[in-house]
Amino acid sequence: MWIERKALAQEIPAAAGLEIRELCEVLASLGFPVDGVAAREGSEALDVDITANRGDAMSHRGIAREVAARLGQPLTPLPPSAPEGAPLLEVRLEAAACPVYATAVLELGPGETPESAQAFLRALEATPKKLPAVDASNELLHRYGHPTHAFDADAIRGAVSVRWARPGETITTLDGVTRSLATADLVIADEAGPIALAGVMGGDATKVSATTRRVLLESAWFDARTVRATARRHSLHTDASHRFGRGADPAMARIARDLLVLRLQTWCQARLLGAWTAGAEPQRGTAVVLEAGLLTRIAGESLDLPQAAEALQRLGCSVVATAGSLSVLPPTWRHDLNIPEDLAEEVLRLRGYEHIPSALPPLEGPPEHLAPAYLQRQALARRLAHLGFHQTVTYGFISPEADSTFAGPANPPEGRTLANPLGYEYSVLRGSLLPSLVVSAGQNARQGARQIRLFELAPTYLSGPSGPREQATLAVVWGGVLGGEDPFSPARSVQEADLAGLARDLGIQDGPAIHRLAEGLFGFEVSLAALPLPQDRIIPAFRPFSRFPAVERDLSLLVPLGLGHETLRQAMASALPADALQDLRCVDVFRHRSLPEGRQAWLMRLRFQADRTLVGAEVDGWMAAALAAAEALGASLRA
């Protein structure tokens, strides 16, 4: 919200002596940080950030009250109330959401909005309408925070009532939009129907124009919740709804009416025909009791209770001190002081948060461990990063098409679709991370990356009867050219087998399906449930190992295509002494049409080691046994 400096100083003269920087610091320390300062109309306007709970501060007077309380300096007094007279027309308050409605009827004179008021409005980025009744109401809102409205009195038919809208009623608001009203909309109506949306916007039919002769003023108080609901229902967020919606000051109803009358009298020689008020201010809430103990706990040190009382009084509270506590009645403009903690905050705020002491909270129990699932993800991310992979972060929602590529029929997208997505391409909570990684890989490829190594750790979503279930998932994509970037490492393209090896290295049981995602780009995806959890770092039992030399022998076999490596390996291993066989695996594959039909050549490497020196004949015997076991599966020694 814009606060014009000269206007602020009119409300709190002591602020005039502050440097702009000092003023900004005072405001920030009170909870109103200044986002920027702009030179406007020969003065400065401060862009003040006001939190939603402080409707009372959304005006120059409101900010001035805060500065005055901090500086301990007086506010400029408001002009005394003018006497009221008998109602000139009937105003009926038919809903509890509007307990008080101050009004007046004036006959407008020839004068215009003074330049000073126009400059004030322009400094706040508001546009003067050069209609005194409209500009004065607007100027009042920014200066005192109380929204008012002026109707063309001659356009009003019969009595005025404040009531709930009736089914089927409509209103054309000042912005020219005709709106169908809900019965929860509070309206100002004359005998022909609604003439304003209470606290939100006036009606077009009764608006003040250049030809208006007589005006009916409205300075009321409307229930915040009702105004918020109507503003939201009609997507109509106005300066008035903003303030009423955050809680206006009911005591300002009469005062703002008087101020408005005064302005019209001065600006355009308006003649007051009558001023009166329907209803009365709502009862003030009950007092809140602040115990010294609570204040001490929150403040972190024992604070002097009379000083706390004095601080609250400076903010407009009525305070009754008793032994060890304060009974506090907040001022009419504060709707946010409802519990003792709220009052403690006010005491600290006025004193300055910089005075809060600093201490580490004592440990009251043993610290908890990090969860295994969390540690698993940390360890995986680090392992993959050290292996050369880059961790990605992509959006959790993707397009239905992209999702359908990997999600599978058991995971229908309907249960994972957003009701209000940003767009079609972001509408489904993804069943797979791979589509997003393919996009990131493509982007890297277009940027000329020689090798693409990406992984993501994120939830995927599984449709279920009670909503999408989240599954912590790892996906990896790998493509491009390996090596060839130094004199020792030959270049070759990334293969499907590289991903299988990576999956095995990560401890994934039952090698996951390796997808060919694009030309030379492969990937896999696994639920983290399929990965081993990190073991507790207890010290494992010592397992002795041989210190005698190992013997390595190769066996070149012709094996039938279709015979699995694991089958062959197990068959061969079962024919060998388990305590001597250290390793057995295929280390080379040769496929060529020169080989017998339906065969490939595997070079099997066997490694033996035992707690004694192995002799050649012994190993020869094992090799023969291994060969026999292989032959039983249809393999033969390659000649």
Partner 1 sequence: MDQLLPPEIDEAARSFASALAACGDLNALMRLKGAYVGREGSHAARMMDLLKAAPKEHKRELGAQINAYKQQWEEALKGRQTDLESAKKAQDALAAGWDPTLPPPVPAAGALHPLNRLMDRLVDVFRPLGFHVEEGPEVETEAHNFDGLNIPDDHPAKASSDTFYLAAHPELLLRTHTSPVQVRTLLRVAPTLAERGGIRFLAPGRVYRKDEIDPTHSPMFHQVEGMLVGHGIGMQHLKGTLEYALRTLFGPHTEIRLRPSYFPFVEPGCEVDVSCPLCGATGCRVCKGSGWVEILGAGLIHPNVLTYAGIDPTVWSGWAFGMGVERMSMMLSQTPDLRLFFENDQRFLKAMGGLD
Min. distance of Cβ 637 from partner 1 in angstroms? 8
Min. distance of Cβ 321 from partner 1 in angstroms? 21
Judge whether 101 and 163 are in contact, CB under 8 Å.
no
Min. distance of Cβ 29 from partner 1 in angstroms? 6
Of the two residues 192 and 624, which places its CB atom closer to partner 1 in the complex?
A: 624
548: β partners? none
Min. distance of Cβ 105 from partner 1 in angstroms? 35
Helix or strand run (H / E) with residue 567: helix 565-574
Judge whether 302 and 294 are in contact, CB under 8 Å.
no
Of the two residues 149 and 334, which places its CB atom closer to partner 1 in the complex?
A: 334
Of the two residues 12 and 344, which places its CB atom closer to partner 1 in the complex?
A: 344
Of the two residues 57 and 256, which places its CB atom closer to partner 1 in the complex?
A: 57
> How far apart are the C-alpha atoms of 58 and 52, rounded to whole Å?
10
Of the two residues 311 and 348, which places its CB atom closer to partner 1 in the complex?
A: 348
Min. distance of Cβ 267 from partner 1 in angstroms? 36
Residue 32 burial (C-beta neighbours within 10 Å; 0-12, 13-18, 19+) = buried
Of the two residues 214 and 242, which places its CB atom closer to partner 1 in the complex?
A: 242
Of the two residues 234 and 453, which places its CB atom closer to partner 1 in the complex?
A: 453
Min. distance of Cβ 257 from partner 1 in angstroms? 29
Judge whether 459 and 472 are in contact, CB under 8 Å.
yes
Task: Check the CA dihedral 123-32-241-158 and report its sign.
Answer: negative
Of the two residues 406 and 461, which places its CB atom closer to partner 1 in the complex?
A: 461
Min. distance of Cβ 232 from partner 1 in angstroms? 7
Helix or strand run (H / E) with residue 142: helix 132-144
> How far apart are the C-alpha atoms of 433 and 460, rounded to whole Å?
7
Judge whether 373 and 438 are in contact, CB under 8 Å.
no
Min. distance of Cβ 631 from partner 1 in angstroms? 16
Min. distance of Cβ 596 from partner 1 in angstroms? 7
544: β partners? none
DSSP class of residue 77 equals P
| Alpha carbon separation from 501 to 493, 504, 606 (Å, rounded) | 15, 5, 20
Could you give the 3-state DSSP secondary structure of residue 474?
Answer: strand
Of the two residues 189 and 441, which places its CB atom closer to partner 1 in the complex?
A: 441
Q: Which residues of 311-349 are buried (b: 16+ CB within 10 A; e: fewer)?
A: bbebbbbebeeeeebbbbbbbbbbbbbeebebbbbbbbb
